[in-house]
Amino acid sequence: MKIWQTIVLLCMGILAGCAGNSGHLKFSPELTRDFGEGRPPPEYRYYATGRENLPNAVIGIDRKYQQRARFWREIDAGSEDLIRAIQNVFPYRLESPRASYLLSPDGDIIGVFWSVIYWTNVRMGKDNDVYVLPPRPPDTDGGETIIP
């Protein structure tokens, strides 16, 4: 019986350790309104993923952090390219884009997220590195999900 208790405790410890560096999203109606009106917060470093003219998501990362996940391209915060990316975010079903805050595991705001896909993985690395993985729509037909 003791071996099972040890295994259970070990598994719980592993799961707790994995969750320790994970951040999450927190939806914000005010932020959604600002993005929808073409007024993203200027204090962030912005990135887009997906097609250049039809991105899957746009994120803004606090300048004290470094976005390290692959498949994101930086966009100048004051540019028309950022406004176009926000306006042309990839449509998924009939969903409207919405904005969320990117939160660290401690609940600190580390950035913003804009997409019609309302979830992604956020991981904190060493030395203020942030890994925001590109969002993917759910697999709804049992086959492989492909994002253009």
pLDDT tens digits, one per residue of 40-64: 999 999 999 999 889 999 999 999 9
Give SS3 for 66: strand
Q: Please tell me the predicted confidence (pLDDT) of residue 25.
A: 96
- pLDDT tens across 62-97, in order? 999 999 999 999 999 989 999 999 999 988 878 899
Q: Please tell me the predicted confidence (pLDDT) of residue 94.
A: 81
Give the pTM: 0.79
Q: To the nearest 10°, the Cα dihedral for 38, 43, 47, 52?
A: 30
The upper half-sphere exposure of residue 130, i.e. CA atoms within 13 Å in the direction of its Cβ, equals 28
Q: Span 5-32, mean pLDDT?
A: 71
Distance of CA 144 to the CA centre of its chain: 21
Q: Span 96-117, mean pLDDT?
A: 96
Residue 15, pLDDT above cutoff 70: no
Residue 9, pLDDT above cutoff 70: no
Q: For residue 142, what pLDDT band results from cuts at 50, 70 and 90?
A: very low
What percentage of the chain exceeds 70 in pLDDT? 79
Q: Where are the domains of the chain?
A: 21-132
Q: Which residue has the higher pLDDT, 97 or 20?
A: 97
